[in-house]
């Protein structure tokens, strides 16, 4: 794997500008209109189901929006997406993952013969936890014909 192409560097620079502008405007709006920004963020949470979780507390994660940690996380994710290549119905990219034991491996290491491997990406967000029981039911219903793998992704908010 060599150096990224000049086109990729230009795309990364453009994404850096977009994310920096997004965070700067968000920070200004959060400072000037905290109540309105909070309402908008909670409205986004309604769409994803996060606010339906009885254990959900928006005080835990709204303050992390537009922080330095938020900026670096969003930038990293957007840069990674520039290089993601996959087609619907095709093979998943053979991305590196780390098992709970700490062992490093790749997604394809979890494939067994011709059995489909269902990937579920998520983190400890209220919406993911709220819908986890539905995923467990899928495993119960289709575990005899497919394998399931949950891939934990980093969160964009402080971990405490």
DSSP 62-109: GGGTTSHHHHHHHHHHHHHHHH----TTSPPP--EEE-TTS-EEEGGG
Greater confidence (150 vs 51) lies with 150
- Please check whether residue 127 is in contact with residue 50, taking contact to mean a CB–CB distance below 8 angstroms: yes
pLDDT level of residue 155 (50, 70, 90 thresholds): low
Q: Which residues, listed in sequence order, are joined to residue 149 by a DSSP beta bridge?
A: 119
Interval 62-87 mean pLDDT:
84
Please report, for residues 46, 119, 129, 157, the alpha-carbon distance to residue 49 in angstroms, rounded to integers and kept in the order given: 5, 20, 10, 18
Report the pLDDT averaged over residues 121-145. Answer: 85
pLDDT bin (cut points 50, 70, 90) of residue 8 is: confident
Q: Please, is 19 exposed, middle or buried when counting C-beta atoms within 10 Å of its C-beta (0-12, 13-18, 19+)?
A: buried
Query: Distance between CA 116 and CA 98 in Å, rounded?
Result: 21
pLDDT band at 1 (very low <50, low <70, confident <90, very high): very low
Q: Work out the percent of the chain whose per-residue pLDDT is above 70.
A: 86
Choice between 157 and 9, residue whose per-residue pLDDT is larger: 9
Q: Give every CB contact of residue 76 below 8 A, 6+ residues apart in sequence.
A: none
The answer to whether the CB of 106 falls within 8 A of the CB of 92 is no
- Pairwise CA distance, residues 90 & 71, whole Å: 32
- pLDDT of 68 over the 80 cut: yes
Model confidence at 81, pLDDT cuts 50, 70, 90, reads confident
pLDDT tens readout for residues 18-54: 999 999 999 999 999 999 988 888 888 777 666 676 6
How high is the pLDDT of residue 29? 94
Mind listing the pLDDT tens digit for each residue in 93-127? Answer: 788 888 889 899 998 999 999 999 998 888 777 67
Q: pLDDT above 90 covers what percent of the chain?
A: 34
Q: Is the pLDDT of residue 157 over 70?
A: no
């Amino acid at each position: 794997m060599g150096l990224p192409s000049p086109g990729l560097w230009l795309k990364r620079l453009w994404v850096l500008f977009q994310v920096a502008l997004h965070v700067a405007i968000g920070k200004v709006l959060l400072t000037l209109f905290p109540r309105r920004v909070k309402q908008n963020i909670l409205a986004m949470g309604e769409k994803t189901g996060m606010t339906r979780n009885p254990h959900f507390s928006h005080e835990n994660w709204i303050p992390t929006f537009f922080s330095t940690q938020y900026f670096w996380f969003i930038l990293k994710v957007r840069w990674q997406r520039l290089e993601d290549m996959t087609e619907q119905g095709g093979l998943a990219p053979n991305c590196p993952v780390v098992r709970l034991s700490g062992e490093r491996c790749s997604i394809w290491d979890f494939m067994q013969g011709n059995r489909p491997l269902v990937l579920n990406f998520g983190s400890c967000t209220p919406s993911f936890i709220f819908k986890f029981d539905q995923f467990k039911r899928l495993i119960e219903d289709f575990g005899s014909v497919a394998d399931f793998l949950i891939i934990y992704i980093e969160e964009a908010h402080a971990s405490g």
